[in-house]
Structures are given as structure tokens and as C-alpha cells.
Chains A and B, each alone.
Chain A
Amino acid sequence: MYEKDGEKYFVVDGHTHFWDASPENWVEGQEEYAKGWIECFHAYQGLGPQDTHWPIDRFQKYSEELMMHDLFEAGHVDVAIFQPTNLRQWYRNGFNTTEADGALAEKHPGKFLVNTYFDPREGDAGMKAFEERVKRYHCKGVKLYTAEWLGDSRGWSLKDPEASRYLEKCEELGVRNVHVHKGPTIWPLDKDAFDVSDVDYVATNFQGLNFIVEHVGLPRIEDFCFMATQERNVYAGLAVVVGGLMHARPKFFAKVMGELMFWLGEDKLIFGADYAIWEPKWQVEGFVDWTMPADDDLSDFPPLTVAQKKKILGLNAARLYDIEVPEELKLEAPKVVEPVGVPNP
């Protein structure tokens, strides 16, 4: 919970990790990719305030104590949602697995929700293991990284028929929240890897599921917003928008927030700090303090209200994940607000 100027904010961090990218965990022969991946993440941290930068060795592998401190003691977070990224091709025990997240969650009841993953390339055995993970860790969500390498494969699409089998299984098991993260490679490589049209396809076909597009589709915000005006079950994950832009590029941050409020509206935006890339503390505090600057370029966008910030920082995610919110932190009579953006264009 974060309190400022007499207002109390229930904070759900919708995007967190407990990873191990230390050299001991690199797969032999794949070191350059394992190293390249974590160094790329580390560079993203450089977009946050200087005094929150970590040395690379701590960033490669951090302790449970540090994570608990950064999220719950210093970071104002009430509940955090783990989003796994396996990358077993490059990391021997995986980069950030459901199992590692689940073990931590079980030690700290009530603090974490554990999401898992599926990969349609894993066949029937994968389906069975998926169901076991969901039951074992009480998963209400999955995080899908479509650009993950597997053998010679450079990724998969939500349009693949096997992906639909998994999404049917999600419906059956009550895994309602599907977080989709796009990466730079996908087969075939001549197409745009960040294209979100496959999310559009499954969002239409699976109306009972919520699709949360991580990083708001960055770098394809325009395609993402266009899709979101047509699909009522599409949400924006704000990881990277807040962490990568709010401090480093405040004007672009304002533009992007303005556009997201315009096209999606206050009920569809989900805060995520993307720990350990960025710590939640400065993001939560900065977002509560943030106002739309007075600038001609931003004159189309109204300022954010306290109630809107409360929704974005926690209440929206609490709604999607059935997280119990203390009475004093709820909004009085919250209404669902339609965005201004053109519906069904």
C-alpha cells in the first residue's frame, strides 16, 4: 500500500521475475546468447534513475531477501504477479521458471500470484505438464513469450492450431489471464516479429479470456491500440512504459499515457514494474506524482485523476485476478469507463 497526500493506493505489481542469469546457469555452447540476453536487460535498467542501477553481478542473480525488500518493504507492493520466461535453450535450469517462482511464492503466502507458461511446440507431454503446473501453483494466468527459441525454431504464433488447444485448456482450468510478450525473432524472420495480429485473432476466438499485451505492444503501440479498440478483452501491461519512459523520456511517456487512456481507457491499463529490470519504488511514487504536462503537443489529453491512478496501479489487476482488496483501499462505486477512442473503426 502506498499513501500520498491522504490517498491510499493498493498496489499490484503485474509483472515481476525471480531469475538466475549467472554464468553457472549458462548452457554450454549458448553462452553468447545467455550473456547477450541479460546484458540487454541490464541496459534497460539504465533507463531508470541513476541511483537505482545495479552492478551486473547482482543483476545476474539476486537474493530472495533483496527481492522481498525491494518489492514489499521499500516498493509499496501489496501483491506481485510472477511472469515466467523459461529460455531453457540458453539457461540450464531456465532463466525464470514457474518452479523457481512457485517455490518463492510458497514461502511467502499471500504475497505472490504465480503465472505459468505454455508452448504449443511441446506437444502432448507439454499439455500434461502444463495442467500439472496450473494445479500445483494455482495459476490464474499464463505468460507467453512467442519469440522463444526451441531447437531450430525461432518462435511460434498464437494463430497456430496447437495454441488454440492450449487456450481451450486455459478456459477449462480457469486460467483466465493470458499475458503475451512479443520478442525480436519469430518465424519467418522476414515478417515483423512484433506484429500483434495473432493476439487479435485469439482475442476474438476466446472471449472468456483476458489478453494482456505486455509492454503495450512496444514497439507497436499503434497496432496494439488499433486492435484494442475492436477487442473488449484486450488489456495493456505497462511494464517498460513506466520503467523505460517515465524517467528517461518524460514527454514520450506523457504522449503514450495519453494515447493509452484515449484508445483503451482507465479500466484496461495494468501496472507492472518488471523487476529486477526496474525496482517498483520509484515507479509507484513517480506515477502517483505524475501529471500530464502543460504542452501544446499534449493538449488533446486530460490529466489523470487519483481514481484513475488507483485503478491502474492495482485495482484493475485485482479485478482480473480476484485479489481481495481491503475495504478502505477500494474506490467508492467505481464505474467502467468507455475510452474516447473510436470504437469499431
Chain B
Amino acid sequence: MTALEEVRACHAAVWQALGTVRDPELDEPLTSLGFVARCAVEDGRASVDLRLPTYFCAPNFAFLMVADAYDAVSAVPGVATTEVRLVDHFAAEAINRGVAARAGFAASFEGEATGELEELRATFVRKAVLAGTDRVVRALLASGVDRARLADLTLGEVPATADRERLRDRRRELGLPCGDGDPLLVDPETGQPVPAGELARHLGFARLTRASQEANSGVCRDMLRVRYPHIGEQEGAR
């Protein structure tokens, strides 16, 4: 590779790494949400700015995104130093300082927090499992699968779509059964199969959770666009 090609490849790798970081609440990558305001790599120094839909977006989720982005970018081969900055946010200073110092959430918000954020994260991965279940189930029903059969299906019997793999990934993150032989429908708390008698309720909450997540995502995307009106031109710009 020429020097220029190497710089480009490193930049692409950093962007790809940011694409693995999700908004924990919306369950979507920062890159597709438009949350990456700037991404630059020079001489092994990666420098990333993140932006959010409002000045008052919840600081705990914001911290997770900045910290995850820092971890993902730092792990890219060829990146020697990493700087990730949240901009235009009421708690930006505390978050940026805490992440840069690898201080953890509780230390970054001394006196305002009692612990770290893993429990919060897991709560929202469980919601993502429910929402993802609705996506897979809707497609099955649309293809003519009988609703009553859903409780008997395994993950492996479901068509291999991106939605199925996304559901499998979220279940894996939580340590829930996620092999081809495991049931399509499981309780996101316990991993137990959903009994036939609980089917209607389970699918009802899956549908509701997806509606909530998507409505929330819609509001966030719209707020971001109102806040940064030129976002259409910037999005995807490397």
C-alpha cells in the first residue's frame, strides 16, 4: 500500500469500528444515526466528535456511547492515540474527562451516581431482544406461518435474515440461548422458552417494545436533523 492508501484504510477501519458502537437505547449504530459529527485520523491519532439529538439527552446513555466509541476506536490496528469528544451537551465536560481518564461512570459523576452502567445496558439489550423478536415474527407471519406454530419454532428454522442474526447477537450478549436448535421465542429475563399459553402476551409486548423503540428512534432522528439542519450533507461524509 502507498502511504495515502494506508491512511485511507485506517480511516475506513475507524469508521467501521464506530459502526459497531450502538446507542444502547435505540439499538442502532452511531454511524447510521448520524451521531458521528467528525472522524479524523492523522499519523495514528484518531479524533472523533459525537453529537446527540438534544442538549439534555440522558447522561448515562451518552457516557456509554462515548466510552464504547473510545474502546472501539482504540482497538483499531494502526491507531496509537484516541480522542473521543461529545459536543453540545450539558454534561459533555464531565463525560469527556471521565472517558479520557478511563475513570468509569460513578467516578466521572462523583456524588451523582452510585454505580456503573452495566445493569442499565442489560435492561436495554433485553428490550432489544423483544423488539427484534417482533421484527422476525412479523416477517414469518407475513410469509404465511401459522401464529400457533411460533412457540415450537427454533432459531435455525427461521429464514436466515439480518433481523434473525441481530436477534441472535443480542441474545448472545445477554448469555441467553442463541443456537440454531434453541427456541425462537424465549423470555428475555430467564431464557426459558415461552409456553403456548403465554404466546399472545409475549408477542403483544414484543410488538409494543418495538413500537416504543422505533417511535423513540424517530423522535431522536428528527430532533437531530432539526438541531443540525445540514446533517444530510454530512452524513456518511468521512
Q: Which residues of A contact B (CB under 8 A)?
A: 32-33, 36-37, 39-40, 43-44, 46-47, 152, 154, 183-185, 187-194, 218-222, 225-226, 240, 244-245, 248-249, 252-253, 255-256, 258-259, 262-263, 296-297, 300, 341-342, 345
Q: A190-B114, A252-B214 are in contact. Are A47 and B58 (CB under 8 A)?
A: no
Given A40-B56, A154-B112, A184-B59, A248 contacting B208 (CB threshold 8 A): no
Question: Known contacts A32-B90, A222-B211; can you find 6 more A-B pairs with CB under 8 A?
Answer: A39-B55, A189-B113, A192-B60, A193-B60, A245-B218, A255-B211
Q: Which of B62-88 contact A (CB under 8 A)?
A: none
From B57, B205, B209, B215, A256 is in contact (CB under 8 Å) with B215
Shortest distance in angstroms between B118's beta carbon and chain A's nearest beta carbon?
9
On whether A252 and B209 interact (CB within 8 A), knowing A40-B54, A184-B59, A190-B116, the answer reads no
Is the pair A37, B56 in contact by a Cβ cutoff of 8 Å?
yes
Our pick among B112, B200, B211, B214 for the contact of A189 (Cβ within 8 Å) is B112
Q: Do A219 and B204 touch (CB < 8 A)?
A: no
- Contact A252 B114, beta carbon cutoff 8 Å: no
B residues near A256, Cβ cutoff 8 Å: 211-212, 215
Chain B interface size band reads 35 or more
One digit per residue, 1 when the CB lies within 8 angstroms of any chain A CB and 0 when it does not, for chain B 99-123 equals 0000001100101111111011001
- The answer on a CB contact under 8 Å between B208 and A190 is no
Is B201 an interface residue when CB atoms closer than 8 A count as contact?
yes
Which residues on the B side are within 8 Å of A185 (C-beta)? 56, 58-59
A221:B215 contact, CB within 8 angstroms: yes
**Would you mind naming 16 contact pairs between A and B with Cβ atoms under 8 Å apart?**
A39-B55, A46-B222, A46-B223, A47-B226, A188-B112, A190-B60, A190-B113, A218-B216, A222-B208, A244-B219, A244-B222, A252-B215, A253-B215, A255-B211, A256-B215, A300-B207
For B115, the closest partner residue in chain A by CB is: A190
C-alpha spacing A97/B167, complex, angstroms: 47
Question: Do B142 and A296 touch across chains, with their CB atoms under 8 A apart?
Answer: yes
A323 to B186, CA, bound (A): 48
Return the contact of B56 from the options A184, A222, A345 (Cβ within 8 A): A184
User: Given the complex, which residues of B lie within 8 Å of A252, measured CB to CB?
Assistant: 211, 214-215, 218
Complex: A253 Cα to B219 Cα, angstroms = 11
What's the Cα separation between A342 and B205 when bound, in Å? 10
Contacts of B56 in A (CB 8 A): 36-37, 40, 183-185
CB distance from B23 to the nearest CB of A (A): 11
In the complex, residue of chain B having the shortest beta-carbon distance to the beta carbon of A300: B207
> Is B97 part of the binding interface, using a Cβ–Cβ cutoff of 8 Å?
no
Q: How far is the CA of A184 from the CA of B223 in the complex (A)?
A: 15
Complex: A125 Cα to B112 Cα, angstroms: 26
Residue of B nearest to A221 (CB): B212
- Bound Cα distance from A218 to B56, whole angstroms: 15
Q: Are A225 and B60 in contact (CB under 8 A)?
A: no
Knowing A46-B222, A46-B226, say if A184 contacts B212 (CB, 8 Å).
Answer: no
**Roughly how many angstroms separate A162 CA and B90 CA in the complex, as a whole number?**
29
With most chain B CB atoms within 10 A of its CB, the pick from A32, A183, A184 is: A184
Q: How far is the CA of A221 from the CA of B204 in the complex (A)?
A: 13
Residue among A218, A252, A262 having the largest count of chain B Cβ atoms under 10 Å = A252
Kindly state the separation between the CA atoms of A248 and B224 in the bound complex, as whole angstroms.
13
Asked if B49 lies at the interface with its beta carbon under 8 angstroms from chain A, I say no
B131, chain A: closest CB distance, angstroms: 9
Q: How far is the CB of B177 from the nearest CB of chain A, in Å? A: 23
CA distance A220 to B219 in the complex (A): 13
Point out the residue from A43, A192, A245, A300 that lies within 8 Å of B123, measured CB to CB. Answer: A192
Given the known A-B contacts A188-B112, A190-B105, A191-B120, are A297 and B138 also in contact in the complex, defined by CB atoms under 8 Å? Answer: yes
Are B212 and A189 neighbours in the complex by a CB distance under 8 Å?
no
Give bound CA distance, A222 to B209, whole Å: 5
Q: How far is the CA of A287 from the CA of B166 in the complex (A)?
A: 36
